Structure 1
């Protein structure tokens, strides 16, 4: 196994992929945790295991995300199913959830909406962490909603699913929320050519690109917020690098007398904006 992992690291580095991806592939093949894998580094792989490992490493070198091979990704300590219909949950989004939970810790039975839910990672995590909350998961993609529903069922939490564009399903039903969260598409269209093939060829473009400056969805969400947020409610969004000031300004333009805060991730990067109404 040790030799196989070394080969994978060198091969993937040569193809400008994550050198550590071989470990994730090996864990998947052996169906073990990383600690168990490391304890067995000098085990000899079977011929079948070796062939499968090499096949998946070659696939990743060609651009297929490891998460699409394993069919899963971890988020906030839980395993979520993913495929090409949804954005693969990122660690940065865990911090949006963390800050949101802190901000609503004194709310009783909050009503929460996750806009553009994808795999359901945000909505389901909020429900798992606050079981008494009433949580809505909204997406324009019916395929994504199906994956979110499957993830919620596996984790044993009830979520309400609404199909539609951004906040429109809430507005149509006159649903008011205490907390609205979203990790909308924020990559400017012109940056498409600079993205890794792992992302651009295998993740849904409707979950990636946000118009010429990447801010189109923030503008639409903000225009709809007055019809959805309760008095004293909170909206929190994740942004791309260098976009927080612009997103904060969009919030402030619609809510000039309300508190808008830029939040920083664990690496000190500005990645989130919260609006308190």
Structure 2
């Protein structure tokens, strides 16, 4: 790539490469606008701007990484979620839009039913816990993960976004059981992909994202089985629980909750694509947000 080209000329050139490889045509614009600190509309209105050599060299390095199979979010160490930019690296999953629906459901519940304490299990980069703390600053928010590396990312995001969260390194609920801590609300987005589903997954995901945060045994249900069995030890008398699920797991996870909490109401919430995505269990009268 020779120097002294305009933004428009550069984007036109790399668009041909992306088309030829059947890759996301947005990738080049995302890389460029983020490094230059521009909004998309500002980038489009700057097509005649000549790039400085340092910016062109940075773009070439970024674009080569993308062509070699690295996701844009890891290249830039930024992923948007629920209106905030979160730091991400290969120690954590890239936030998915489906998880925003879990936060939205929790937000809707908390607006109608104010609570005091929330626990986010398998927090990863901290997106759920931090988003809830930003929405409800008065909430005492805790978050756990088995991965020390993931918690380091979550702590970084907590500080950057000025959202104090109590992070705990533990296997699911073990530390809270030991300390006899209880919570009003518990949310979780645990690993739930079955090993057999690997063949259906993007090579971008398999090559870059941590397997520990993706896969679970017993057709993806193993973490739910352990989590739900232990939940009664860490819940207050009145509670609201919401977990993200794979779209084929609704009835199975609902049955696990019904077995452990026969007195509570459990329902499946569908995502924007009308696929089963969240299971909610609550013994509060207003806990049903369906």
TM range (shorter): over 0.9
Whether 2:136 is the aligned partner of 1:159: answer no
Contact 2:14 2:28 in 1 (8 A): yes
TM-score by length of 1: 0.94
Secondary structure of 2:74's match? helix
Secondary structure of 2:226's match? helix
Q: Determine the structure 1 residue equivalent to 2:109.
A: 103
Report the Cα distance in structure 1 between the residues aligned to 2:12 and 2:23, rounded to whole angstroms. 14
Secondary structure of 1:84's match? coil
1:1-277 matches, cutoff 5 A: 1-277=7-283
Contact 2:115 2:185 in 1 (8 A): no
Contact 1:10 1:19 in 2 (8 A): no
**Unaligned runs of at least 5 residues, structure 2:** 1-6, 284-290
Deviation at 1:267, TM superposition (A): 2.7
Moved more, 231-240 or 105-114: 105-114
TM-score by length of 2: 0.90
Cα RMSD of the aligned pairs, angstroms, is 1.7
Secondary structure of 2:272's match? coil
Deviation at 1:272, TM superposition (A): 1.0
Question: Do the aligned partners of residues 14 and 217 (structure 1) sit closer, same or farther apart at CA in structure 2, a change above 3 Å counting?
Answer: farther
Moved more, 31-40 or 162-171: 31-40
Deviation at 1:253, TM superposition (A): 2.1
Deviation at 1:39, TM superposition (A): 1.7
Report the Cα distance in structure 2 between the residues aligned to 1:248 and 1:11, rounded to whole angstroms. 46
For the pair shown, which has the larger CA radius of gyration, 1 or 2? Answer: 2
Contact 1:116 1:183 in 2 (8 A): yes
Contact 1:12 1:57 in 2 (8 A): no
Report the Cα distance in structure 2 between the residues aligned to 1:213 and 1:2, rounded to whole angstroms. 48
Deviation at 1:37, TM superposition (A): 1.0
Deviation at 1:43, TM superposition (A): 2.4
Deviation at 1:212, TM superposition (A): 4.0
What are the superposed Cα offsets for residues 227-251 of structure 1, whole Å, 9 maximum, x if unpaired?
1122221111111222222221221
Question: Do the aligned partners of residues 139 and 51 (structure 1) sit closer, same or farther apart at CA in structure 2, a change above 3 Å counting?
Answer: same
What are the superposed Cα offsets for residues 210-263 of structure 1, whole Å, 9 maximum, x if unpaired?
124111111111111111122221111111222222221221222233211111
Aligned residues: 277
Report the Cα distance in structure 1 between the residues aligned to 2:13 and 2:235, rounded to whole angstroms. 53
Report the Cα distance in structure 2 between the residues aligned to 1:217 and 1:124, rounded to whole angstroms. 23
Q: Determine the structure 1 residue equivalent to 2:288.
A: none
Deviation at 1:109, TM superposition (A): 4.5
**Unaligned runs of at least 5 residues, structure 1:** none
Contact 1:109 1:134 in 2 (8 A): no
Deviation at 1:98, TM superposition (A): 0.6
Contact 2:77 2:89 in 1 (8 A): yes
